[in-house]
């Protein structure tokens, strides 16, 4: 073939380039059509199942402009909020007053601001709900109670009940019960919310007392009632520790008393602080550990009720000493041998005794209870007569844990206390004399005031305390009815 018979190279290249340009333009047109259909798909979706319908179902990339005829709603529309909350809160005080909630522990105890737990067993809690008359047309739809606390573990139960497992050590616990009730009224739905709390003091186990110290606080060493050899140097004359060793062992529990709770009432007429050694003239610290027999707390309340019924007006008993730890009690015995009234196995060391007076005028001296114008041991004997009544009653009813000893003193041997006074010792030792009679004694100074017939100790003679003014009323006959206020 001849070379000049072939088509010219330049013409063929131009045709191929034109063809490519044509295809590119066709693709651009097709892409423009797809974009146009995507825009229109939001307005006119295709039939179900079509690719236009699938495009229309996809969310647009841009928020469409609002219709000019529709007003723009504000960001917070009150009407819409009301529609979203169809349960208005109805302000009807009758509904709140109709429900009463109390937080309780499910064991018997004295009325108190601070309830002392008797042991470390789990505590049953109860949220008691009392419903008074509801307004007409009002009915309860639902009710829910729950317990919360600042210590320990709470297991929720049914019908407002729960179980508390105590935390380690002695702790002050605040437990709160909440009640939420949904109500239907004639005006709509509403709710009632109630709260109640209870304050507890959990004890620490006596096993934490190691080397005479518990939680960094010194208690001291207890004499072993089963080991007379450990009594050497303390001149123990009593046979009771050997006969009743269970009453003279290390206390099972100790309570931690802090400044925040020492003023709390643990009974109607007793505060927690009255059992600790924290007086202006003697203090073992603002925070102390004490042992305390709760039967003794109840016994003092029984004594208060009995004397009040007899006509005495007593705001409270004034302690001279309640709990005395061995570090204080035995230490005093060692340093004051021959002059002290303290006993090596004193019930004070076990939280089962208290020395007290009735002192309504606040002068630090026992009041003139028999109205004879002289303050002496006979005024302490007035209190003792009512203790006798209680102990006989406890003994007859078989409550030996409440029965105890009682002794009257014409003076105290607490050299740190600046004011001298007669007083009475009361305890809950839980046993009687060998002949079945109550344990009683009198302690007077040698040659002391008239009527002091027994001499348990031989201390220096103390003159009876006389008031500067005579009693405001004549001495009554028979049972005394004295207004001490």
What the chain holds in terms of domains, given with CATH numbers, is: 93-202 (2.60.40), 204-466 (no CATH)
CA 340 to CA 415: how far, in whole Å? 10
Mean pLDDT of all residues in 125-142: 92
Higher pLDDT pick, 343 / 395: 395
Mean pLDDT of all residues in 145-165: 97
Higher pLDDT pick, 19 / 285: 285
The whole-number pLDDT of residue 401 equals: 97
Q: List pLDDT tens digits, range 92-109.
A: 677 888 999 999 999 999
The whole-number pLDDT of residue 30 equals: 66
CA 154 to CA 165: how far, in whole Å? 6
Q: Please state, as a whole number, how many other Cβ atoms lie within 10 Å of the Cβ of residue 194.
A: 17
The percent of residues above 70 in pLDDT, for the chain, comes to 70
The whole-number pLDDT of residue 16 equals: 61
The whole-number pLDDT of residue 229 equals: 86
Mean pLDDT of all residues in 237-252: 94
Mean pLDDT of all residues in 256-270: 98
Q: List pLDDT tens digits, range 313-344.
A: 999 999 999 999 999 987 654 444 444 446 88
Average pLDDT for the chain: 80
Q: List pLDDT tens digits, range 409-444.
A: 999 878 888 999 999 999 999 999 999 999 999 998
Instruction: Round to the nearest angstrom and report the end-to-end CA distance of the chain.
Output: 149
């Amino acid at each position: 073939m001849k070379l000049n018979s072939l088509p010219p190279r330049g013409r063929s290249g131009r045709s191929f380039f034109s063809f490519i340009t044509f295809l590119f333009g066709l693709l651009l047109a097709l892409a423009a059509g797809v974009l146009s259909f995507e825009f229109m798909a939001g307005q006119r979706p295709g039939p179900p199942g079509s690719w236009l319908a699938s495009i229309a179902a996809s969310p647009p990339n841009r928020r469409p402009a609002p219709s000019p005829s529709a007003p723009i709603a504000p960001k917070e529309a009150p009407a819409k909020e009301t529609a979203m909350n169809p349960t208005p809160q109805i302000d009807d005080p009758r509904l709140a007053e109709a429900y009463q909630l109390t937080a309780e522990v499910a064991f018997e105890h004295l009325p108190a601001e601070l309830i002392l737990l008797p042991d470390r067993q789990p505590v049953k809690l109860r949220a008691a709900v009392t419903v008074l008359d509801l307004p007409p047309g009002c009915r309860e739809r639902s009710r829910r109670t729950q317990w919360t606390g600042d210590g320990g573990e709470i297991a929720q139960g049914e019908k407002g009940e729960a179980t508390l497992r105590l935390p380690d050590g002695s702790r002050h616990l605040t437990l709160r019960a909440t009640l939420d009730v949904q109500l239907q009224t004639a005006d709509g739905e509403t709710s009632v919310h109630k709260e109640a709390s209870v304050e507890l003091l959990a004890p620490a186990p006596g096993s934490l007392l190691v080397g005479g110290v518990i939680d960094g606080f010194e208690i001291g060493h207890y004499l072993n009632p089963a080991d007379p050899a450990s009594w050497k140097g303390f001149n123990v004359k009593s046979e009771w520790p050997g006969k009743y060793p269970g009453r003279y062992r290390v206390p099972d529990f100790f309570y931690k008393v802090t400044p925040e709770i020492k003023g709390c009432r643990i009974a109607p007429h007793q505060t927690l602080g009255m059992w600790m050694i924290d007086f202006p003239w003697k203090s073992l610290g603002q925070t102390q550990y004490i042992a305390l027999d709760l039967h003794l707390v109840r016994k003092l309340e029984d004594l208060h009720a009995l004397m009040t019924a007899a006509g005495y007006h007593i705001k409270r008993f004034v302690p001279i000493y309640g709990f005395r730890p061995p570090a204080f009690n035995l230490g005093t015995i060692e340093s004051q041998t021959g002059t002290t009234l303290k006993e090596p196995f004193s019930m004070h060391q076990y939280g089962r005794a208290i020395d007290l007076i009735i002192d309504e005028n606040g002068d630090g001296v026992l009041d003139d209870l028999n109205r004879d114008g002289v303050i002496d041991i006979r005024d302490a004997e007035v209190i003792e007569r009512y203790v006798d009544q209680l102990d006989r009653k406890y003994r007859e009813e078989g409550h030996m844990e409440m029965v105890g000893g009682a002794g009257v003193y014409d003076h105290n041997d607490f050299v740190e206390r600046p004011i001298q006074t007669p007083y009475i010792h009361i305890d809950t030792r839980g046993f009687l004399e060998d002949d079945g009679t109550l344990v009683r004694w009198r302690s007077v100074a040698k040659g002391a005031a008239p009527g002091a017939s027994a001499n348990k100790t031989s201390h220096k003679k103390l003159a009876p305390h006389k008031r500067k003014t005579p009693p405001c009323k004549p001495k009554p006959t028979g049972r005394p009815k004295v207004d001490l206020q």
